[in-house]
Amino acid sequence: MTGAILGLAALGLGACGGPGGTTPEAVPLKDQLLEPGPLGDREYGNRNAPVTIIEYVSLTCPYCRAYHAKVFPRVKRTYVDTGRVRYIIREFAIGQSAGAAAIVTRCAPKSKYLPLIEAYLSRQREWVSQEVRPDALYKIAKTSGMTRAQFDKCLSNQSIIDGLMEVKQRGRKYGVVGTPTFFINGQKLQGEVTFEQMKALIEPQAS
């Protein structure tokens, strides 16, 4: 298990947060950015929505925690739940603990994925450390109905580890160097973002 987690952590370079800002270049959505990784995408909302948002998240990142506590609920309520935005979450683990948590979220049923993402983010103080703390990770994972045996087996699931590594490699190709990073119809927004910044990019395209 430890070796597998270290394998994921080998791609753990990256940074968390900073002031939010946009970059002018747009990635070709149809040809590149929208192509799902080997594990498939976790997505929400209307697949045919005029706007697609892709979020790259590391579960140990405090800026990701702040975004999901303060901004994402408004984005989801205003745009995703109303069919105006298709929202995709992709893992960009930074460090061993984030890698282990990302593996666990991918073992949970699809219906439990987002609640587990939110739980790991909101309860970072309980499990985030330089060393992986399986007991602390499982305390949160069991809220999804996962047994300890399933959890232990999950952490050494090489196909999930390899899939997450590929997702991160692709993210780097698209210019992701830290979290959170968003692509709103291909335009990159990164760092500590506000709802107003998201809205400014969404509204002109969401009608």
Q: DSSP character for 23?
A: E
Per-residue pLDDT of the chain in tens (207 residues, 90 and over written 9): 455 544 555 545 556 766 666 665 556 555 689 999 999 999 999 999 999 999 999 999 999 999 999 999 999 999 999 999 999 999 999 999 999 999 999 999 999 999 999 999 999 999 999 899 999 999 999 999 999 999 999 999 999 999 999 999 999 999 999 999 999 999 999 999 999 999 999 999 987
CATH code that applies to domain 37-205? 3.40.30.10
Name the residue ranges covered by the structural domains of the chain. 37-205
Is residue 179 within 8 Å of 63, Cβ to Cβ?
A: yes
pTM, full prediction: 0.90
